[in-house]
Amino acid sequence: MRDFDPRRVGALECRAWVTYYRHEWAKLLLASVGLVRAGFRLRWFRVPYGAWLVLRANQLWAPPVDNDPAGARRCMERFYRLVARDSGESLDTSEAARREVNWWRAHRAVQRGPGADRDRERVELVEALTDLYSYVYGDEREAVRPAAALRAGAMDVSDQWVAEGCDLDSPLVAQERELLVRSYAALLSVVHRQSS
């Protein structure tokens, strides 16, 4: 979990976001299989179940109205149990899932909010991502904040892509991917330093 290829993880996450917003659930499952393996290093026999949990959590979260945050958290708690088991990290999986879904909530506020508090909501999103990274990797908040800010920047680009109609040929997809790669490179440099 502390040794991953930022280019691969960033590209897979970009593919996952694209398929999520296009509601291409089978393609999202395939992206999740790669992401779970590349980003969390689950053992091969746990990868399909882990990817299904991530997909199911996203499906429960996806509806803008009447979604199921509690169901999404339950799926992510099961997912983080797999991560803890395979990584040897001591995680309160309920807390990890709460922090995961909290950044989803913060992003939705930025994405769908009225816009009057956009700057404050964006700060809350970066803080929610920082909370997740700090907790899951056991690192100082200030050390992981740059990775969180880059990932939030990728979300801004993704939101623009969604607003413009989810065109697969849009140059915004490449821009989003590059920001995600940079985010994971920043995270990797911190978690490698911390684990040394």
Q: What is the DSSP letter of 117?
A: T
**CA 163, 154, 58, 67: dihedral to nearest 10 degrees?**
-50
Q: What percent of the chain has pLDDT over 70?
A: 96
In the numeric block, the tokens 């990290």 are attached to: 89
Q: How is residue 145 written in tokens?
A: 């904040």
Q: What is the domain partition of the chain in residue ranges?
A: 6-195
Residue 44, pLDDT score: 93
Q: How far apart are CA 116 and CA 196, in angstroms?
A: 44
- Would the pTM of this model clear 0.85, i.e. be above it? yes
Model confidence at 196, pLDDT cuts 50, 70, 90, reads: very low
Mean pLDDT of the chain: 93
In the numeric block, the tokens 């199911």 are attached to: 56
Query: For 115, left (φ over 0), alpha (ψ -120 to 50), or beta?
Result: left
Q: How far apart are CA 27 and CA 191, in angstroms?
A: 30
Q: Please check the confidence at residue 194 and state whether its pLDDT lies above 60.
A: no
Q: How far apart are CA 62 and CA 124, in angstroms?
A: 20
Q: How far apart are CA 12 and CA 7, in angstroms?
A: 9
- Taking the CA atoms of 35, 171, 102 and 57 in sequence, report the sign of the dihedral they define: negative
Per-residue CA distances from 195 to 41, 119, 188 (Å): 16, 34, 10
Span 92-113, pLDDT tens digits = 999 999 999 999 999 999 988 7
Q: List for the chain the helix, strand, coil content (%; round to 5).
A: 80, 0, 20
Q: How far apart are CA 132 and CA 78, in angstroms?
A: 16
Q: How is residue 162 written in tokens?
A: 């969604």
Per-residue CA distances from 3 to 76, 91, 137, 152, 196 (Å): 21, 18, 12, 22, 12
Select the highest-mean-pLDDT range: 63-67, 83-87, 186-190. Answer: 186-190
Span 38-80, pLDDT tens digits = 999 899 999 999 999 999 999 999 998 899 999 999 999 999 9
Q: How far apart are CA 123 and CA 119, in angstroms?
A: 6
